[in-house]
Structure 1
Amino acid sequence: MNHIVSLKWLLARLYESDLVIVDCRFQMGKGQENAGREAYEASHIPGAVYLDLEKDLSAPVDADGHGGRHPLPDAAQLTGTFSRVGIGNTSRVVAYDDQGGAMASRLWWLLKYLGHDQVFVLDQGFAAWRDAGFPVNAEQQVRIPAPFLAEVRHSMLAEVDDVRELLGTDQATLIDSREPARYRGEVEPLDKAAGHIPGAINRFWKDALDERGGWRDENAQAARFAGLAQDAPLIVYCGSGVTATPNVLALQEAGYTNVRLYAGSWSDWISYEENPIAVGDEENPKDE
């Protein structure tokens, strides 16, 4: 796998000088905002730094709701954050969480978006590392800031206007990464309206993982998206732009080359009253 590293791979390189390990644990939900940091402070992979989904990897929510529940940070601000924790242009970065790779994939995508390719997600996450008997501690090392020069890859991002223009056309396929009941509009625990963007197909992001919580290989990922040509334009979204990123990673593992993230996702889409909403199942994707 190109973007996933194993527990043993990281163990063998744990103290290499160019490696930056980032703990991305974060619990969604009211009252859980500090749970990830508290877990990090209690125990983490040696040398790991902590980056918080909402404080470090997202911008503040806009008062009018536009941009979604986890808006993208300003590129300059994000570059400063990475530099502060020791991530430079020559760093190798390994991100982990305990949420199936969702938060780690958010960091993976953000670094890719800023032009940094040497970034990976740790297979299975922290609990598997700890349960394997690999080293953990509670020490918080002081990191020396590293120079980080961003080269923003705008082609990785889709905005609300891009999605609007594609509605009713065959110019791109929208992939909704949320659980099926949310996609169909049967339940909506987080956002003000239920349903999905018209024309979107549903590929639940957790299906990228196997029964042990590890990432499926490239062949299994490709099977999840069967029927879509590998060079087909794809736009992936979820509720707020976080759990879509594991699907972006899975698509890249499977060889798809034209994948964009709608970062604002469903929470941004429904912030515009004029945007249409669909419920129920959509047709299967076209055959190649």
Structure 2
Amino acid sequence: MSLPLLVEATDLSKHLADSNLIIIDLSSPENYAAGHIPGAIHLPSARLLMGEGPIPNKCPSDQQIVQLCQDIGLDSDKQVVAYDDQKGPWAGRLMWTLNIADHEKCSVLNGQLDAWKKQGFELEQSANSVNASQFRPKINRDLIADVDFILNHIEDSSLSIWDARSEPEYLGDKVINAQKGGHIPGANLLEWTDCLISEDDLRLKPDAEILEQLANQGITPNKTVVTHCQTHRRSGLTYLVARHLGFNDIRCYDGSWFEWGNLPHTPVEK
């Protein structure tokens, strides 16, 4: 089976019985237990983080990624569909993680579980599990931009940094877990939630509308785009958006502002 990168609830409902479908629920354990898409397995969002070291929000190690893939029963034929209870950032980050594992058959439910409910589709409360696989993915870390990559390209006109945080964070008026506030020099601001239709409709805006928003900020598909936020949670959604819109060179700065804002040598603009 093959599903688009951004899948509608109606389309997903037609494939629930497919043996090659893996539905991943990245909600809290409480929300998963309260009701989830039939067949969905629960995955704690912490599995998408390294979880140790000075920057625990960075991408998991190669072995952690391999173990994650095996634990969800992944193999090269499986189609993954993810959703979360936070408007889509964890689902996007899972897609990024699986893309690093060279698995492209990944989709995110447009509008998250809310869209499924609004269509009146069935929910279940019983927990699901899968048999672990022996999948050994080839890890491709080219989808990660680190501090050195950004510093080496910061004045390159072909690079566009997409800051997905809020405007107060971008301007340095609000500083979270960092020694300094502001933004990476030259970074372009488009808050992650500006890609959504509304608080009551968590689906992405029409493609043309988002592309116009991005172009107005200097973020265009012909550039190398690096997206980040505070801990690379919110920028999980912006990675998804860029991939959905056809950006061919989109990378994530997994250290994000939690790293950049605490390093003594990184330049900052306000």
1:147 to 125, 131, 134: 134
Within-5 A mapping of 1:234-245: 234-245=225-236
Match of 1:48 among 21, 28, 40: 40
2:178–2:262 Cα contact (<8 Å) kept: no
Q: Which residue of 2 aligns with 1:14?
A: 16
Give the secondary-structure state (helix, strand or coil) at the position aligned to 1:188: coil
Contact 2:188 2:219 in 1 (8 A): no
Q: Is the 1:237–1:266 contact (alpha carbons within 8 Å) kept by the matching residues of 2?
A: yes
Q: State how far apart, in whole Å, the 2-side matches of 1:232 and 1:96 are.
A: 28
1:222 to 211, 232, 244: 211
Aligned to 2:97: 110
1:121-178 per-residue CA deviation (whole Å, 9 max, x = no partner) reads: 0011113323432111121223111232212223211111111112334341211111
Q: Which residue of 2 aligns with 1:99?
A: 86
Correspondence 1:72 to 2:63: no
> 1:184 touches 1:196 (CA, 8 Å); kept in 2?
yes
Report percent identity of matched pairs. Answer: 26
Cα deviation code 1:51-72 (max 9, x no counterpart): 1122x1111132xx3x3x5121
Are residues 232 and 45 of structure 1, via their aligned partners in 2, closer, same or farther at CA, if it must alter by over 3 Å? same
Q: Structure 1 CA distance, aligned partners of 2:178 and 2:126?
A: 38
**Could you tell me which residue of structure 2 aligns to residue 208 of structure 1?**
195
User: Structure 1 123/229 Cα, relative in aligned 2: closer, same or farther at 3 Å?
Assistant: closer
Deviation at 1:271, TM superposition (A): 2.8
Going by fraction, where is helix more abundant, 1 or 2?
Answer: 2
Look up the equivalent residue of 2:246 and give its one-letter code.
G
Q: Report if aligned partners of 2:110, 2:203 keep a CA contact under 8 Å in 1.
A: yes
Q: Is the 8 A contact 1:219 1:254 kept in 2?
A: no
Q: Distance in 2 between matches of 1:73 and 1:214?
A: 28
Q: Deviations over 1:68-125 (max 9, x none)?
A: x512111221221221122222110000112111111010111111110111000111
The residue number in structure 2 matching 1:183 is: 170
Normalised by the length of structure 1, the TM-score is: 0.86
Residue aligning to 1:159: 146
Gaps of 5+ in 1: 26-35, 280-288
Q: CA deviation at 1:220?
A: 2.2
Correspondence 1:165-176 to 2 at 5 A:
165-176=152-163
Measure the CA separation in 2 of the matches of 1:85 and 1:257: 27
Segments of structure 2 that go 5 or more residues without pairing to the other structure are: none
SS in 2 for 1:173: strand
Report if aligned partners of 1:222, 1:251 keep a CA contact under 8 Å in 2. Answer: no
Corresponding residue SS for 1:21: strand
CA distance in 1 between counterparts of 2:31 and 2:262 reads 33
Q: What is the match of residue 82 of structure 1? A: 69
Contact 2:154–2:186 (CA<8 Å) still a contact in 1? Answer: yes
- CA RMSD after TM alignment: 1.8
Corresponding residue for residue 28 of structure 1: none
- Matched residues in 1 for 2:116 and 2:177: separation? 31
**Aligned partners of 2:96, 2:220: CA distance in 1, in Å?**
22
Determine if the alignment matches structure 1 residue 246 to structure 2 residue 237.
Answer: yes
Shift of 1:8: 0.8
The SS at the match of 2:252 is strand
Instruction: Report if the CA contact (8 A) 2:229-2:256 is conserved.
Output: yes
Give per-residue Cα distances to partners, 1:169-190, cap 9 Å, x unaligned: 4341211111111111111345
Instruction: Using the TM superposition, give the Cα deviation of residue 5 of structure 1 relative to its aligned residue in structure 2, in angstroms.
Output: 0.5
Larger deviation, residues 164-173 vs 231-240: 164-173
Runs of 4+ in 1 over 6 A off after TM superposition: none
Report Cα offsets for 1:191-250 as digits up to 9, x if no partner: 443211111110111111112211123222211221444221221111111211211221
